[in-house]
Amino acid sequence: MTKKMTVVFHDEELYTDVKMEAIRRNRPASAIVCEAVLEWLQAKEDEELVPLAETAITDWEQNGGFKLEDIDREIEQARTKRAKIPVVAERKNVRG
């Protein structure tokens, strides 16, 4: 499903850079923007998982280990929480 959105660039140089990259890649500028947004969303998701990993490492260092089931449950809870956040772009729409 294709949805339209207007993106306003307040930075003329950024706008020009996006258009030039689109030309270099022979892709629509919208595909470049979607790809960048998707990468940003994935990075944010990774940032949310870092505290879980740090907690697991600390627990392992202090207690000599942890149950895999507990970590799996925490990861699943984080994924469920993340799934409730609206998705701006889907991977299948990125390639133009």
Whether residue 92 has pLDDT greater than 60? no
Confidence of residue 59 (pLDDT cuts 50, 70, 90): confident
Whether residue 95 has pLDDT greater than 80? no
Residue 18 lies in a domain: yes
Residue 59 lies in a domain: yes
Residue 1 lies in a domain: no
Q: State the Cα–Cα distance between residues 88 and 74, nearest whole angstrom.
A: 25
Q: List, for residues 37-51, the tens digit of each pLDDT value.
A: 999 999 988 888 888
Residue 82 lies in a domain: yes
Q: State the Cα–Cα distance between residues 23 and 29, nearest whole angstrom.
A: 8
Cα–Cα distance list, 72 to 62, 66, 68, 69, 92 (Å):
20, 11, 6, 5, 28
Residue 4 lies in a domain: no
Query: Does the predicted model carry a pTM greater than 0.85?
Result: no
Residue 7 lies in a domain: no
Residue 47 lies in a domain: yes
- Count of domains in the chain? 1
Domain range for 29: 12-94
Residue 77 lies in a domain: yes
Sequence-ordered alpha helix ranges (H) in the chain: 12-25, 29-63, 68-83, 91-94
User: Burial letters for 61-84: b for 16+ Cβ neighbours within 10 Å, e otherwise?
Assistant: eeeeebeeeeeeebeeeeeeeeee
